[in-house]
Amino acid sequence: MTQPSIDTNCPHCGQPMCRWTYPDLQYDELRYVCFNDECGYYVRGWAFIEEHYKTKASYRHMLDPQSGQTMPLRVKTAVDFRDGIEG
């Protein structure tokens, strides 16, 4: 039985997401993350977090390819979590 293919392009900007792993208990398996600094989701996130939480942060689109679930990956700088990009 084969798994259905999962679209690994960001739904917000259409760019291919990066294969990503991070040695953290919550994210110890492969994920796909949009690291496009011009992605509207990421760009709008700075203003949203500032307005609602009064702090400097944003989020990137993240996909769990096992479950198909998507979620935000909160970042405080443009370079956060880039060390986990594979290949």
Q: Where are the domains of the chain?
A: 18-80
Q: What percent of the chain shows pLDDT beyond 90?
A: 76
pLDDT in the model for residue 1: 46
pLDDT in the model for residue 6: 87
Distance, in Å, from the CA atom of 65 to the CA atom of 27, rounded to the nearest integer, reads 12
Cβ partners under 8 Å of residue 67, min gap 6: none
* Whether the Cβ atoms of residue 58 and residue 49 lie closer than 8 Å to each other: yes
pLDDT in the model for residue 26: 63
Eight-state DSSP code of residue 54? S
Distance, in Å, from the CA atom of 21 to the CA atom of 23, rounded to the nearest integer, reads 7
pLDDT in the model for residue 70: 97
Low-confidence ranges of the chain (pLDDT < 50): 1
